[in-house]
Amino acid sequence: MWHLDATLTRFASVACEFPLDPTRAPVKTAVMSTATLSVDLDAIAANWRALDKASASGVQTAAVVKANAYGLGLPRVARALAQAGARRFFVAVTEEGANLRQILGPGPQICVLSGHMAGDTEMVSDLDLTPMLNSLDQVTRHLESLPGHAFGVQLDTGMNRLGMEEPEWEAIAPFVLEAGPELLMSHLACADDPDHALNEQQLASFLAMTDGTGVPRSLAATGGILLGPKYHFDLTRPGIGLYGCRPYEAARPVVSLSLPVIQTRLIAPGESVGYGCTWVAEQPTTVASLSGGYADGLPRTLSNAAMLWDGDTPCPLIGRVSMDTITVDISHLAQIPRSLDILGPNQSADDLADTAGTIGYEILTGLSARYYRRYYEGGK
Ligand SMILES: *Cc1c(COP(=O)(O)O)cnc(C)c1O
């Protein structure tokens, strides 16, 4: 019975470290193999206040919390923003709005960017959601099914995504305005590029479609806020800036992500690492396998390209990103770390996005549901 004693001894020591005793408090970070995503709620609140200050005091600043608050976790983020002073929230779809209403309770206004779809009526009504109507179809559905219920109108000024176009709007504007929309809004396609000609064109188109209506107006998301006061109108709708990403360069950083080391091994020159053997050792190398992969929102384009960080020491990702695991060269570290950071002070979501060939928005909204989300608030 080779090794049996040693195996049993090892098992006994493991069992002793992590007894299956339900009365014991669960051990958190020390034994988890899931990664920890830390979210600084104070930073989100500070970013909201700073973006609020960037427009005149008469301009309301909403908060966009679609896609689970850009991946960071809707319940805690929405409550932190409400506490910071946000009174109006935007989500993409009605189910998100329903969820948010349960989190925030009555009071704050919840606007739904996809408008009023067939099947939404009951939720819109029962949970007091405000759909931004995008088409004549939606206007008809809303006014027929919920007469007197709050709504806004989304206008297309050149992005060609959501909202009514100028001719359609002109035809029905008198009738829609009669029904009392509480917001007319549009969205800029190139606000992250202040020199792009489309910004001025969209602004002119928005003015032409809304001047003289007397209805509150909104054109700017994060990028639009930074374009200056003529883009602010009555209400701004920042999303990405709250979460610390471009184009809001002055944002306070919000997230850090730490991936536990599951296993390490020493490999010899000539040995390869990972699927497809895309990385081959040229010298003896200590390889750490970390918990987190493309199923967790770490793009496969990070393969053989990204850095992880042990404090301030960079450690290159080697081989391909696989579904649940990445492999990292830690040969130069004096000790085997418990975890390595892929987001943090040395690498923002935008930095990682640059390496992956995408944008910070996609990195954030892809952050895994598997990550353990840890929230810092009140300086803790
Ligand atoms: C997502 C979105 C926003 C927020 O945009 P950011 O660039 O994240 O600030 C605002 N308005 C609309 C219509 C959106 O789709």
Of the candidates 28, 53, 66, 375, the residue annotated as catalytic is 66
Asked whether residue 379 carries a pLDDT value surpassing 90, the answer given is no
Packing angle, helices 136-145 and 166-178, rounded to 10 = 20
Please identify, by atom number, the ligand 1 atom nearest to the C-alpha of residue 132: 13
Asked whether residue 27 carries a pLDDT value surpassing 90, the answer given is no
pLDDT class for 380, splitting at 50, 70, 90? Answer: low
Catalytic residue check, 372 = no
Q: What is the mean pLDDT of the chain?
A: 93
pLDDT at 91: 98
Residue nearest to atom 1 of ligand 1 (CA): 239
Catalytic residue check, 248 = no
Q: Where are the domain boundaries for CATH 2.40.37.10 in the chain?
A: 7-38+253-376
Residue nearest to atom 12 of ligand 1 (CA): 187
Q: Is the CB of 222 under 6 A from ligand 1?
A: yes
Q: Is the CB of 61 under 6 A from ligand 1?
A: no
Topology of the domain comprising 41-243: TIM Barrel (3.20.20)
| pLDDT tens for each residue of 335-349 | 999 999 999 999 999
Q: Is the CB of 113 under 6 A from ligand 1?
A: yes
pLDDT at 33: 86
Are 252 and 47 in contact, with CB atoms under 8 Å apart?
yes
Asked whether residue 17 carries a pLDDT value surpassing 50, the answer given is no
Distance 222 CA to ligand 1 centre (A): 7
Are 223 and 198 in contact, with CB atoms under 8 Å apart?
no
Residue to probe by mutation, ligand 1, list 52, 72, 90, most atoms within 8 Å of CB: 90
Looking at residues 94-101, what average pLDDT do you find? 98
Distance (Å, rounded) from C-alpha 109 to C-alpha 81? 13
Place domain 7-38+253-376 in its CATH homologous superfamily. Lyase, Ornithine Decarboxylase; Chain A, domain 1 (2.40.37.10)
Q: Where are the domain boundaries for CATH 3.20.20.10 in the chain?
A: 41-243
pLDDT class for 19, splitting at 50, 70, 90? Answer: very low
Q: Is the CB of 220 under 6 A from ligand 1?
A: no
Please identify, by atom number, the ligand 1 atom nearest to the C-alpha of residue 162: 13
Asked whether residue 28 carries a pLDDT value surpassing 80, the answer given is no
Which is more confidently placed, 98 or 31? 98
Q: Which of 204, 206, 194, 141 is nearest to 169 (CA)?
A: 206
pLDDT at 320: 98
Q: Is the CB of 187 under 6 A from ligand 1?
A: yes
SS (H, E, C) the chain: CCCHHHHHHHHHHHHHHCCCCCCCCCCCCCCCCCCEEEEEHHHHHHHHHHHHHCCCCCCEECEECHHHHHCCCHHHHHHHHHHHCCCEEEECCHHHHHHHHHHHCCCCEEEECCCCCCCCHHHHHHCCEEEEECCHHHHHHHHHHCCCCCCEEEECCCCCCCCECHHHHHHHHHHHHHCCCCCEECCCCCCCCCCCHHHHHHHHHHHHHHCCCCCCEECCCHHHHHHCHHHCCCEECCCHHHHCCCCCCCCCCCEEEEEEEEEEEEECCCCEECHHHCEECCCCEEEEEEECCHHHCCCHHHCCCCEEEECCEEEEEECCCCCCEEEEECCCCCCCCCEEEEEECCECHHHHHHHHCCCHHHHHHCCCCCCEEEEECCCC
Of the candidates 28, 53, 230, 275, the residue annotated as catalytic is 275
| pLDDT tens for each residue of 129-183 | 999 999 999 999 999 999 999 999 999 999 999 999 999 999 999 999 999 999 9
Q: Is the CB of 88 under 6 A from ligand 1?
A: no
Distance of CA 209 to the CA centre of its chain: 31
Please identify, by atom number, the ligand 1 atom nearest to the C-alpha of residue 221: 9
Asked whether residue 255 carries a pLDDT value surpassing 50, the answer given is yes
Distance 13 CA to ligand 1 centre (A): 52
Q: Is the CB of 221 under 6 A from ligand 1?
A: yes
Distance (Å, rounded) from C-alpha 80 to C-alpha 41? 6
The CA-atom distances, in angstroms, between 186 and each of 36, 87, 247, 313, 363 are 37, 20, 19, 45, 25
Please identify, by atom number, the ligand 1 atom nearest to the C-alpha of residue 70: 8
Q: Is the CB of 129 under 6 A from ligand 1?
A: no
